[in-house]
Amino acid sequence: MHTSPDYDLLEVPGLDNLKIAVLPAMHRSERDDDAGVRTREWTLSMDKIFLPLMTIELFGWYAESERETGTDVGNQLFTSSSLRHSELVVVIPCGMHLTDLENKLASGAIISNVIISRFIRDGGIAETPIQTNTFRQCHITMVQQYLDYIIVQMRISKKQVTCTAYDQDGFITGMGMYDVSFISAEIDAEMDNLASMF
């Protein structure tokens, strides 16, 4: 595992050439409460799997959108090529939810919403989301325990990304949204400047 002061690079067994940036182990041991959440910088929710908690600390994750085109760089048909998404991989702490994840894998049950949120860490407006990634209609394709980690791999159908900007007083100044279905390839993207509204 590659390490740095800010993150580790976790090589996921069984997934060739996939390295995921995760929080360093020395920080993960500094718990704020019994839920094992160090900060509210990155969290994960998956329907009701983590009850009684709604969210759990997210150590790291990987997701990639791409457009499949031909090898002829002089004739790239971007308007007709296929839009696709990698499988979503998340790294979370081990706990009682391991059995629920294994059950979802074994039964093939759909997970309606997998939500990855990034929060402002400090600055007087803690618990304020600046980015939300929502993956819909997901199927678990792999569950792997890696010592204190649980690594979950999922196939997704839809993806929505929302980014929010704030001023120094905590008021929203702008918001961008991207919403796509990888089944129908329908895309909805918006970018609003909300400064005039506040």
Tens digit of pLDDT at every position of the chain (198 positions) = 444 446 677 777 666 667 777 776 544 444 444 444 445 588 999 998 988 878 888 988 988 887 765 555 565 555 545 777 889 999 999 999 999 999 999 999 999 999 999 887 655 545 678 899 999 999 999 999 988 889 999 999 999 999 998 887 778 899 999 888 888 766 665 655 443 333
Q: Name, in order, each residue with C-beta under 8 angstroms of 195's C-beta and a sequence gap of 6 or more.
A: 167, 173, 174
Q: Which CATH class is domain 2-67+82-197?
A: mainly beta
Give the start-to-end residue ranges of the domains of the chain: 2-67+82-197
**What's the pLDDT score for residue 42?**
87
Nearest Cα to 112, choosing from 83, 139, 84? 139
Q: What is the DSSP string of 119-166?
A: E--SSS-TT-EEEEEEEEEEEEEEEEEETTEEEEEEE-SEEEEEEEEE
Q: Give rounded-to-5 percent helix, strand, coil for the chain.
A: 10, 45, 45
**What's the pLDDT score for residue 149?**
87
What b/e sequence results for 70-82 when a residue is b if at least 16 CB atoms lie within 10 Å of its CB, and e otherwise?
eeeeeeeeeeeee
**What's the pLDDT score for residue 37?**
44
Quote the pTM value: 0.75
Q: Which two tokens stand for residue 13?
A: 């067994």
In whole angstroms, give the CA distance from residue 14 to residue 89. 12
**What's the pLDDT score for residue 152?**
95
**What's the pLDDT score for residue 161?**
93
In whole angstroms, give the CA distance from residue 149 to residue 135. 21
